[in-house]
């Protein structure tokens, strides 16, 4: 197999010219080196005929840039991150980069390993969803490779990031409930102490406060990310027993799993209970009644992150001081 790949020297030999010349032409630097058009054309043609394709490994070794961007998300199987990966792929491709991905499962050790692998593969930059406990790691690694945080930021370290306006989203969602007359709104959130979760709870509290409603800490439930199946149900029951009349879910997983549980116990959303949620998974559109939600600007975030990363790669600065929050989209449906 593998009928010996043709390389620069092969096509140079065939044409009786030097490798340097061929290299110049094939990397698009013919013009600026004032190589005759006839020559350039001939080189390109025979390169095609012979089925030449650069060896990016060799080129990368020589130039010191691999042309690869590393993408580290929590889980590529999660549609939220899947979409993000797709938008990042598109944008990176426009700029001539390929993307290599990895899933951290919200686990800092796994994240560290993946970063090490990416670094040893000489990625030109990394877009990462930081996880709980990765602050130290990420601030240190920042000295190795240009890095951009996406979706979340870390308070303890300075890093460039792009995320959605979590405070604003939660604020708007809860306001919808309040305007509809709901008064005892429960909040469900992951127990992972990350900026996105925190800001969403802040937005929830701010909306209540602005409406003159009491913030009842007993109505705020932090649910373990790793044990959703077993931990969610008791949390919901506890909130209901405490007399809540509506739910604010801080993300799609919590919302979706809760709908399943509501179905099982015969609770009717939109009648018995109001409901709003962060994120806009397909389920929220298909289910009856539809779920009012705040859709994050995944495309804009992804594009921005890639552009930012490329800027950072060029600038060679280890911190360019960009903290970007993009606003999402409130989608009103019948659950509220």
Partner DNA sequence: CTGTTAGCGCCTTCAG
Partner DNA sequence: CTGAAGGCGCTAACAG
Binding site for its own copies (CB under 8 A): 1-3, 53-58, 60-61, 66-68, 75-79, 81-83, 85-86, 89, 98-103, 116-117, 119-122, 143-146, 256, 259-260, 263, 281-283, 285-288, 316-318
**Which window, 54-62, 77-85, 106-114, 139-147, contacts DNA (CB under 7 A)?**
54-62
158 binds, among its own copies, DNA, none (CB under 5 to 8 A by kind): none
Helix, strand counts (H, E) of the chain = 13, 12
* Cβ neighbourhood burial of 49 (10 Å; 0-12, 13-18, 19+): exposed
- CA dihedral sign of residues 254, 280, 195, 171: negative
36 binds, among its own copies, DNA, none (CB under 5 to 8 A by kind): DNA
Closest CA to 310 of 99, 83, 86, 60: 99
Question: Nearer to DNA by C-beta: 35 or 76?
Answer: 35
18 touching DNA, by CB under 7 A? yes
- Could you give the CA distance from residue 221 to residue 188 in angstroms, rounded to a whole number? 5
Question: Nearer to its own copies by C-beta: 19 or 119?
Answer: 119
DSSP for 169-211, written as a single string: HHHHHHHHHHHTT---EEEEEESS--HHHHHHHHHHHHHHHHT
**Which window, 60-68, 75-83, 91-99, 317-325, contacts DNA (CB under 7 A)?**
60-68
How many other CB atoms are there within 10 angstroms of residue 303's CB atom?
19
Q: Are strands 98-103 and 147-150 parallel, antiparallel or unpaired?
A: unpaired
CB of 2 to its own copies, least distance (A): 7
Compute, in degrees rounded to 10, the torsion defined by CA atoms 179, 180, 183, 189.
-90
Question: Nearer to its own copies by C-beta: 20 or 82?
Answer: 82
Per DSSP, which regions of 4-83 are E strands? 68-73
- Could you give the CA distance from residue 21 to residue 229 in angstroms, rounded to a whole number? 64
**Which window, 1-9, 185-193, 281-289, 315-323, contacts DNA (CB under 7 A)?**
1-9
44 touching DNA, by CB under 7 A? no
- Could you give the CA distance from residue 253 to residue 259 in angstroms, rounded to a whole number? 10
Q: Within 66-85, which residues bind DNA (CB under 7 A)?
A: none
CB of 12 to DNA, least distance (A): 7
**Which window, 57-65, 67-75, 139-147, 150-158, contacts DNA (CB under 7 A)?**
57-65
- Could you give the CA distance from residue 276 to residue 282 in angstroms, rounded to a whole number? 15
Question: Nearer to DNA by C-beta: 19 or 313?
Answer: 19
13 touching DNA, by CB under 7 A? no
99 three-class SS: strand
316 binds, among its own copies, DNA, none (CB under 5 to 8 A by kind): its own copies
Question: Nearer to DNA by C-beta: 36 or 264?
Answer: 36
16 touching DNA, by CB under 7 A? yes
98 touching DNA, by CB under 7 A? no
314 touching DNA, by CB under 7 A? no
Contacts with DNA by CB under 7 A lie at 5, 7-9, 16-21, 23-24, 26-27, 29, 33-36, 39, 54-55, 58-59, 61-64
């Amino acid at each position: 197999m593998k009928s010996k790949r043709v390389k620069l020297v092969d096509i140079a030999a065939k044409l009786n010219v030097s490798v340097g010349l061929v290299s110049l032409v094939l990397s698009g630097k013919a013009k600026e080196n004032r190589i005759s058009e006839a020559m350039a054309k001939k080189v390109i043609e025979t390169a095609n005929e012979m089925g030449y394709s650069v060896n990016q490994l060799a080129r990368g070794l020589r130039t010191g840039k691999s042309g690869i961007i590393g993408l580290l998300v929590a889980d590529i199987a999660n549609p939220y991150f899947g979409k993000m990966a797709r938008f990042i792929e598109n944008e990176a491709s426009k700029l001539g980069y390929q993307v290599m991905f990895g899933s951290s499962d919200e686990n800092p050790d796994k994240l560290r390993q993946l970063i090490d692998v990416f670094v040893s593969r000489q990625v030109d930059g990394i877009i990462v969803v930081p996880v709980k406990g990765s602050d130290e790691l990420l601030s240190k690694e920042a000295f190795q490779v240009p890095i951009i945080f996406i979706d979340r930021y870390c308070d303890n370290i300075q890093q460039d990031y792009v995320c959605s306006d979590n405070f604003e989203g939660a604020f708007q969602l809860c306001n919808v409930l309040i305007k509809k007359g709901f008064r005892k709104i429960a909040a469900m959130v992951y127990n992972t102490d990350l900026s996105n979760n925190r800001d969403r709870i802040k937005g929830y509290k701010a909306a209540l406060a602005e409406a003159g409603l009491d913030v009842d800490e007993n109505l705020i439930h932090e649910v373990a990310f790793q044990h959703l199946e077993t931990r969610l149900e008791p949390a919901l029951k506890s909130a209901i027993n405490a007399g809540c009349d509506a739910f604010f879910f801080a993300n799609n997983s919590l919302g979706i799993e809760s709908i399943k549980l509501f179905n099982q116990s015969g609770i009717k959303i939109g009648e018995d209970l109001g409901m709003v949620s962060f994120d806009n998974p397909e389920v929220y559109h298909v289910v009856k009644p539809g779920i009012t939600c705040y859709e994050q600007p995944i495309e804009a975030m992804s594009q921005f992150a890639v552009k930012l990363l490329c800027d950072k790669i060029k600038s060679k600065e280890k911190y360019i001081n960009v903290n970007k929050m993009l606003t999402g989209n409130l989608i009103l449906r019948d659950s509220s």
